[in-house]
Each structure stands twice: as structure tokens, then as C-alpha cells.
Amino acid sequence: MNIDKTANIVSECACALGEPCSSYAAGHSMHFLQQRLASATPSKWRDGIVERIEADGWTAVRLLETDERVWLWNHADLTSALQPAEPVTLHVGYDVLAHGDARFNVAVLQDRASAGPTR
Ligand SMILES: [Zn+2]
């Protein structure tokens, strides 16, 4: 991943301008097929713990099996849906983040530092 690709992920939708989301790209609206495929492949879910959650849509998750930290991006502010230290599951085949009954389409970055400035 490079800076340009991340910039495209974040800005390719009208939701970046405050308008309703019209995109099924990574990190935007969940397509029913994406959710169905994730449900149909249960072996691809990985347990994790929320490490950081930011209002700009970025969430850091520590995957328990590999102790790997991944950065996830969603076009919405998820700070009301997720809290640090909460358990989540990430579908590594179809990039779906699950928490309770909620499902989010996420863009997955192994290393956010390579994708743009960190704070
Ligand atoms: Zn969007």
C-alpha cells in the first residue's frame, strides 16, 4: 500500500463530502454479497482486540492468533460502535469487521505508517 492508494480509498466516495455513501469499495457501504460470502466462509474469521479507535474512521486491531496489529478504515466514525479493549472479529478473506451484531466493510492496512502520516 502506498499513500496514493490510501488517498483513493478514503476519497473515492461522495461520503467524503458529507453526502450519502454510494460506494461498495473497501471501507464504504457493505454489499449484501460481501456479507453473505463472509458468513459462508467461517474459517476466515480472526479474533482481535480493539487497540485504538479514531473519529476519522481508523481503527487499530490486535489479532490474537498472530499478535499482528492491523489498521482498518471505514468511512464512518465508529467511536460510538467500538471501544478500546473490546473483542472484534475480522474476516481476512472479505475484509469485514464484526462486533456483536454489527458488520462493517473495512479497508485493511498492515502498517498505517506506510499509508500516510500518523498522529
Ligand atoms: Zn462511503
Number of C-alpha atoms within 13 angstroms, CB side, residue 30? 19
Q: Does position 6 have pLDDT exceeding 90, yes or no?
A: no
Q: How far is the CA of 65 from the centre of ligand 1 (A)?
A: 30
Q: Does position 82 have pLDDT exceeding 70, yes or no?
A: yes
Q: State the pTM of this model.
A: 0.83
Q: How far is the CA of 29 from the centre of ligand 1 (A)?
A: 6
C-alpha distances out from residue 54 to 63, 68, 75, 83, 92, Å: 18, 19, 11, 10, 21
106 close to 97: Cβ distance less than 8 angstroms: yes
38 close to 44: Cβ distance less than 8 angstroms: yes
Q: How far is the CA of 116 from the centre of ligand 1 (A)?
A: 19
Q: How far is the CA of 14 from the centre of ligand 1 (A)?
A: 7
Q: How far is the CA of 46 from the centre of ligand 1 (A)?
A: 24
User: Using CA of residue 2, residue 25, residue 61, residue 118, what is the dihedral sign?
Assistant: positive
98 CB burial (10 A radius; 0-12, 13-18, 19+): middle
pLDDT digits (tens, 9 = 90+) for 94-106: 999 999 999 999 9
